[in-house]
Amino acid sequence: MSKRNNFFSLDFSNIEIKEEKYINKINKLFINNNLLILSWMKNIGKLNLVKEYLVKYSLTNKYFYFNKSNDIENKINSHIDLLKLINNYIQLYKIPKIIILQNISKIKWIKETISYLYKMKYKVILLWNDIQIWWIKEIEILSKINTNKENIINSLSYWSLNLIKQIEDKETKEKILNLIVNDIFLNSIFKDLSVKSIELYIFTITFLSKNNYFYSLRELQKKLNEINKISLKTTIDYIDFSIQSKIIKRCYKYDIKNEKEITSKAKYYFNDNWIRNSLSDFKLNKNILIENLIFNTLNYNNFKIYSGLNWKFNFSFYLKKQSKNIFIHISETNNKDELKKEVNKLNKIKLEWKKFLLVESIENLKIKKLIYDNVEIIEIYDFLEKFKQK
């Protein structure tokens, strides 16, 4: 604030270029597009990515940044107010190379501002989740987490937020994570989307966190209603709100035999393990956490992800990415004979793409042969390393 009178200024101290993947994506899209939306969970990483972009392309003194959440005096309430602020900036400094606008959906007639900036050929980054504009390119900033055998247990439960990695005490770590979750719910759900019953929403999202099954929306509503009275419309709204706010992702099943997507039922994965785990008081079933972590790793690597069905065999994931398709099943058996049955079921998928059978410990299963035709048996930790997020 002291550097830029009446304007919000960004702190570039200690900024390291870590998100090359998304920085390059932003730069590539800016070649043919002047407007971009960066979306992800509120307060998780979007602004840091913008800072990295500005540092890399030497724009740290050539940007205009406005965040409505920092407008403490509530002076910017309309399209005109915001344009006046941009004009004041230009008079004091110069025309910015890039305009960054955050949390601006509550400003009246904000789409007029966006249209004006587009016509004036400004390069603009919008940081938000709660407005969809079909003609603006959107980049979803997915969580990046690097796992290895040393940090896997911590990553399963607590993810890898920089703040949390610095905290050793388990109780303190969990308290801070709960505060972050509450902040996300408060700003992304309760305030932005005007949820009427906070308790009912938390009940719904907590139920999803503990249950790793496929439900139709009607089935989900009936399950919830057995415990706590809730309508079908409210259930649908809460699911939609959670997807829009990037808290969860919906995963459908794909029927390999009939080559079709099955959308009548869905399973829901949380975009960060620590949110899912915190809703269960950090006592969530380990198998659910492992599956959720694998889903997020695959999602970061830009696969189209389904659960798989081949005849009567339900397997964990079917991945599609251009011409590269992969089949994955996470085994929970400790019996070598049962494991071989799962190998055979995977091999019955006639398509000649790669198939992985994931186990927690090859040593405990006492198996030596790890390749069966197109099926490779691999430990979960080694699989995560193979698909390491870059």
- Least Cα distance to 208 among 139, 126, 270, 120 occurs for 270
Establish if 11 belongs to a structural domain.
Answer: no
Give the ranges where the chain is alpha helix by DSSP (H): 20-29, 46-56, 79-92, 110-119, 152-158, 162-165, 170-184, 198-210, 217-225, 232-244, 273-278, 286-300, 336-347, 362-365, 380-386
Same domain, 177 and 306: yes
Same domain, 136 and 157: no
Residue 128, domain extent = 20-140
Q: What is the pLDDT of residue 58?
A: 96
- Least Cα distance to 259 among 187, 170, 320, 334 occurs for 320
Establish if 13 belongs to a structural domain.
Answer: no
Question: Is residue 323 predicted with pLDDT exceeding 80?
Answer: no
Q: 262 in helix, strand or coil?
A: strand
What is the domain-level CATH number for residue 321? 1.10.10.10
Q: What is the pLDDT of residue 387?
A: 80
Same domain, 135 and 240: no
Same domain, 310 and 237: yes
Interatomic CA distance for residues 70 and 103, integer angstroms: 9
The answer to whether 88 and 64 have CB atoms below 8 angstroms apart is no
Q: 215 in helix, strand or coil?
A: strand
Establish if 3 belongs to a structural domain.
Answer: no
Predicted confidence (pLDDT) per residue in 51-60, tens digit: 999 999 999 9
Same domain, 121 and 177: no
Same domain, 102 and 158: no
Which segment, 191-195, 243-247, 349-353, is predicted with the most confidence on average? 243-247
Establish if 39 belongs to a structural domain.
Answer: yes
Same domain, 246 and 371: yes
Which of 105, 140, 175 is the last residue in one of the domains? 140
Q: What is the mean pLDDT of residues 22-29?
A: 95
DSSP-derived secondary structure letter, 108: B
Q: What is the mean pLDDT of residues 139-164?
A: 81
Predicted confidence (pLDDT) per residue in 59-94, tens digit: 999 999 999 988 988 999 999 999 999 999 999 999
Predicted confidence (pLDDT) per residue in 234-281, tens digit: 999 999 999 999 999 999 999 999 999 999 999 999 999 999 999 999
Q: What is the mean pLDDT of residues 35-39?
A: 94
Predicted confidence (pLDDT) per residue in 89-141, tens digit: 999 999 999 999 998 988 999 999 999 999 999 999 999 877 677 788 999 99
Strand order across the beta sheet in which 63-67 lies: 63-67, 98-102, 124-127, 35-39, 137-140
Q: What is the pLDDT of residue 250?
A: 98
What is the domain-level CATH number for residue 114? 3.40.50.300
Establish if 10 belongs to a structural domain.
Answer: no
Question: Is residue 321 predicted with pLDDT exceeding 90?
Answer: no
Q: What is the mean pLDDT of residues 375-379?
A: 96
Question: Is residue 5 predicted with pLDDT exceeding 80?
Answer: no
The answer to whether 297 and 145 have CB atoms below 8 angstroms apart is yes
Q: How many domains does the chain have?
A: 2
**Non-local CB neighbours of 95 within 8 Å, separated by 6+ positions:** none
Establish if 216 belongs to a structural domain.
Answer: yes
Q: What is the pLDDT of residue 213?
A: 97
Same domain, 116 and 177: no
Residue 89 tokens read as: 């900036």
For the chain, the average pLDDT equals 91
Report pTM: 0.91
Same domain, 182 and 215: yes
For residue 128, which amino acid is it? Answer: W
Q: What is the pLDDT of residue 247?
A: 95
**Non-local CB neighbours of 243 within 8 Å, separated by 6+ positions:** 249, 250
Which of 88, 110, 140 is the last residue in one of the domains? 140
Question: Is residue 2 predicted with pLDDT exceeding 50?
Answer: no
In the structure, what pLDDT confidence band is assigned to residue 389 with cuts at 50, 70 and 90? Answer: low
Establish if 326 belongs to a structural domain.
Answer: yes
Same domain, 83 and 159: no
Q: What is the pLDDT of residue 4?
A: 58
Q: What is the pLDDT of residue 6?
A: 60
Same domain, 95 and 160: no
Establish if 227 belongs to a structural domain.
Answer: yes
For residue 46, which amino acid is it? Answer: K
Same domain, 210 and 297: yes
Which of 94, 110, 140 is the last residue in one of the domains? 140
